[in-house]
Amino acid sequence: MSGLTLSAEIAAVLAESRPVVALESTLIAHGLPWPANLETARDAETAVRETGGVPATIAICNGVPTIGLSDAQIAYFARTPGIFKASRRDIGAAIGLGRNAATTVSATMALAHAAGLKVFATGGIGGAHRETSDTNPFDISADLTELARTPILVVCAGAKSILHLPRTLEILETFGVPVLGYRTDEFPAFYVSQSELPVSCRIESPQEAVAVFAEHVKLSGGGVVLAQPCPVDVAIHAEEFNTWLEKAESDARISNVRGAQLTPFLLARLTELSSGRTLKANSALVVANARLAAEVAVALARNTATS
């Protein structure tokens, strides 16, 4: 992809084949409220650096895909209302119209791959929504198709808890996307640590994740999901979460919220209903995933250097 701008730090790190971790910007502009969005973004970058990697937060700035936002740019995306939300479909529009756009998982994957990055940390991937009706039409996240075609290792806390998780896993299986459980046999469910749904493979270390990813890519595979549970001290019990979710979904139907606006509406409503507990869990799992992604990126860089 032409027209990418890499920060001086990211350009130097990539030239030296040092470990880099891609981070998304939709979390900053749409996923978390102020000031938790800025604090979480900074904490995630710090976690990557403390673990030996270099963070590359990705967004489209005035129509330019930018790999490695400055702290001032991150603060701008955190505080500015009306930032365009760009999925994979929307990258061309954001560039062509010169917009400031926060990139979703699918768009971040596409831009990270174009820049030569191989490891990406996020909170939770998108997937299949729970209902199909006139008010909530058939909705499958572009994250799943991007995972099918783009060779990036995505570290996450599974798929967002608001989604239809069995259907999401079935789609990933159909698309040939490995779902690796990091020291778990069950697919994490974002705020909820366990879903009682099996992962396709359990792995015990960053080195094992790198080995699986390398072989998958050799076989012309696309992305790989590396899912670790939400930190246990902030994880939410499924029964409690489902009560809040039913209320949030009812509110969304009453307000006729749909499409790209549904996920941020539900997440914000869940924060209110849980008295901030889901927000605390969201921030904690993002930082934990960034730290694990840095461990994977370090292992991948070492593997590359010795191969």
Owning domain of residue 302: 5-306
SS3 per-residue string spanning the chain: CCCCEECHHHHHHHHCCCCEEEECCHHHHHHCCCCHHHHHHHHHHHHHHHCCCEEEEEEEECCEEEECCCHHHHHHHHHCCCCEEECHHHHHHHHHCCCCEEECHHHHHHHHHHHCCCEEECCCECCEECCCCCCCCCCECHHHHHHHHCCCEEEECEECCCECHHHHHHHHHHCCCCEEEECCCECCECCECCCCCECCEEECCHHHHHHHHHHHHHCCCCCEEEECCCCCCCCCCHHHHHHHHHHHHHHHHHCCCCHHHHHHHHHHHHHHHCCCHHHHHHHHHHHHHHHHHHHHHHHHHHHHHHC
Annotated catalytic residues are 24, 160
d(CA 65, CA 62): 9
ω into residue 35 within 30 of 0, thus cis?
yes
Name the CA radius of gyration of the chain, rounded: 18
Q: 261 pLDDT band (50/70/90 cuts)?
A: confident
Q: What is the mean pLDDT of the chain?
A: 94
What pLDDT, on the 0 to 100 scale, is given for residue 193?
76
Partner residues linked to 226 by β-bridges? 155, 180
Query: Domain with 174 in it: what CATH number?
Result: 3.40.1790.10
What pLDDT, on the 0 to 100 scale, is given for residue 266?
87
**Phi-psi sector, 95: left (phi>0), alpha (psi -120 to 50), beta:** alpha
With CA atoms as reference, report the closest residue to 161 among 253, 275, 244: 244
pLDDT tens sequence across 6-32: 999 999 999 999 999 999 999 999 989
Could you tell me the pTM of the whole model? 0.94
Amino acid type, 289: N
**Number of domains making up the chain:** 1
pLDDT tens sequence across 173-209: 999 999 999 999 999 999 987 799 999 999 999 999 9
- Return the residue matching tokens 């400031």: 100
pLDDT tens sequence across 208-251: 999 999 999 999 999 999 999 999 999 999 999 999 999 998 99
Q: How many CA atoms lie within 13 A of 40 on its CB side?
A: 31
Q: 136 pLDDT band (50/70/90 cuts)?
A: low
d(CA 196, CA 198): 7
